[in-house]
Amino acid sequence: MTPLPYDHRLRVLDNGLRLATERLPDSKSVSFGIWIESGSRNETPEQEGMAHLWEHLAFKGTRSRSALDIAKALDLFGGQSNAFTSREHTCFHARVVDRHLPEALEILAELALAPTPSEDDLAKEKDVVLQEIAMVEDDPEDSLMESFWQATWPGGSESHSILGRPETVRGFSLKELDAWRADHYRPQSMLVAAAGGIDHEAFHELAARLFGSLERGAAPEAPPAGTFAPVRSLKERDCEQSHVTLSFEAMGATDERRFTLGVLNAILGGNMSSRLFQEIRERRGLAYTVYSFANTMRSQGILQLYAAVEPERTGELLEALRGELTRLAGGDVTPAELEHARDHLLSVLYLSLESSEDRMSRLARNHLLLGRFVSPEETASRFEAVTLEDVRELAAAILNPSRAGLGILAPGIDPAWAEAFNP
């Protein structure tokens, strides 16, 4: 497949901050993001939740704009603006009509780089985050997934909660938060990405004016990484269903086998025609919700499954899950399944190209993880190159049921469930 002539640029400012842009000539919108390579993995256990709390506090106002001023200005632009925190990144992002780009970028740059929250702001946002934590705990699926993820990486920075723990969030002071932010919001750990109807040079000049004065300096290294542990976590809770998750050690987002992992996940539980959906929901009627997904960081990751079932049928679900995993690990993958999974992934890829938001996110992640622009055609060719033997080898390597981590949250616990995935 001959690559199309994508109009992209990369510029690195003198202080180390990266600017990545992609021009979409037919687009009247621009999506941009200010990406900081700091998230929950960059916190010590006592700091859990700082990156996420700063994401909230940034919108509370700056020296020249109040929180209301910021909200009104962004609303008038008619676009969308938000922020998110992950384990390895914090991102402030927006989508606006192209003519509003200068004003929108200036506002987000100011709130990301020079927020001025008050003690009252901090108290209020602590309460908001504590409500977020409570919402996760109230939802059995979210609660299981969060607690199980933390147990999967004992002692490692991967296990840190993105939202934080109630005791850490309550204890933060503005002085401590300012110190963490000053250490981690460094230009060499930042990338500003934009995709849409932009002029490269004009955007670079604007970004250089807004970010060029940042003092050069590397952010501190993240705390030590942990290693995957196939834990057994069975907890009793007053709920209507048994919530079940399984995890297998996989690979990170920069591993060359990530394309094979994508194909394997699509076959296993990544869509409605997948093994798990067809067997667990369509044929057996065991669960309304059943899926799998690759949960990856830069250099580590897991392949995870989830299903919810009537408590009395939990054993049947575990047996069905083990059966499908055993068959896949034993090489039971057909050429037709490979072709279908590949076509599905290519469709998802090309549909995402119609969104300037997806283009911006793709542009940023490829530069952050791989250090370069990656064309959609290159990605497509990597999926097309995955062979049946590749999928079978990876399934054999990672889907051994006896090496699965198992988490269950249910109104009653049968001790026999813990044995379902033992050798």
Residue 421: DSSP 8-state:
T
Reference 396, options 257, 232, 231; nearest CA is 257
Token readout for 148 is 């199980």
For the chain, give the mean pLDDT.
Answer: 95
Which of the pair, 193 or 26, is modelled with greater confidence? 193
Beta carbons of 409 and 142 less than 8 angstroms apart: no
Its sign, for the CA torsion 33, 37, 41, 43, is negative
Reference 80, options 94, 91, 64; nearest CA is 94
Residue found under tokens 């995870």: 304
Percent of the chain with pLDDT over 70: 99
- Cite the active site residues: 55
Q: What angle do CA 36, 303, 317 make, to 5 degrees?
A: 140
Beta carbons of 29 and 358 less than 8 angstroms apart: no
Query: Measuring CA to CA, how many Å separate 101 from each of 91, 199, 371, 399?
Result: 17, 11, 25, 47
Helix 258-268 and helix 314-329, axial crossing angle in degrees, nearest 10: 140
Please tell me the predicted confidence (pLDDT) of residue 285.
96
- Neighbour tally for 32: CB within 10 Å: 28
Please tell me the predicted confidence (pLDDT) of residue 4.
61
Mean per-residue pLDDT for 93-119?
Answer: 95
Mean per-residue pLDDT for 415-420?
Answer: 92
Burial track 65-100 (b if 16+ CB lie within 10 A, e otherwise): bebeebeebbeebebebebebebbbbbbbbbbeeeb
Token readout for 298 is 């830069």
Reference 152, options 404, 326, 398; nearest CA is 404
pTM: 0.94
Which residues does 370 contact at the CB level (< 8 Å), separation at least 6? 254
DSSP states along 127-192: HHHHHHHHHHHHSHHHHHHHHHHHHHSTTSGGGS-SS--HHHHHH--HHHHHHHHHHH--GGGEEE
Mean per-residue pLDDT for 47-70?
Answer: 94
Please tell me the predicted confidence (pLDDT) of residue 204.
97
Please tell me the predicted confidence (pLDDT) of residue 78.
76
Beta carbons of 189 and 217 less than 8 angstroms apart: no
Token readout for 214 is 């940042």
Whether the per-residue pLDDT at 68 is higher than 80: the answer is yes
Whether the per-residue pLDDT at 38 is higher than 90: the answer is yes
First to last CA, the chain: 45
Phi, psi angle pair for 68, to nearest 5°: -65, -40
Residue found under tokens 């996940």: 265
Beta carbons of 117 and 174 less than 8 angstroms apart: yes
Q: Distance between CA atoms of 284 and 172, rounded to whole angstroms?
A: 49
pLDDT tens column, 330-353: 999 999 999 999 999 999 999 999
Domains of the chain: residue spans and CATH: 7-211 (3.30.830.10), 232-419 (3.30.830.10)
| 333-339 LR contacts (CB < 8 Å, sep 24+) | 333/267, 333/388, 333/391, 333/392, 333/395, 335/388, 337/267, 338/263, 338/267, 338/386, 338/387, 338/388, 338/391
Residue 306: DSSP 8-state:
E
Residue 371's pLDDT band, with cuts at 50, 70 and 90, is very high
DSSP states along 74-126: HHHTTSEEEEEE-SS-EEEEEEEEGGGHHHHHHHHHHHHH-B---HHHHHHHH
Please tell me the predicted confidence (pLDDT) of residue 1.
46
Mean per-residue pLDDT for 86-112?
Answer: 95
Beta carbons of 294 and 252 less than 8 angstroms apart: no
Strand-pairing partners, residue 82, are 93
Whether the per-residue pLDDT at 18 is higher than 90: the answer is yes
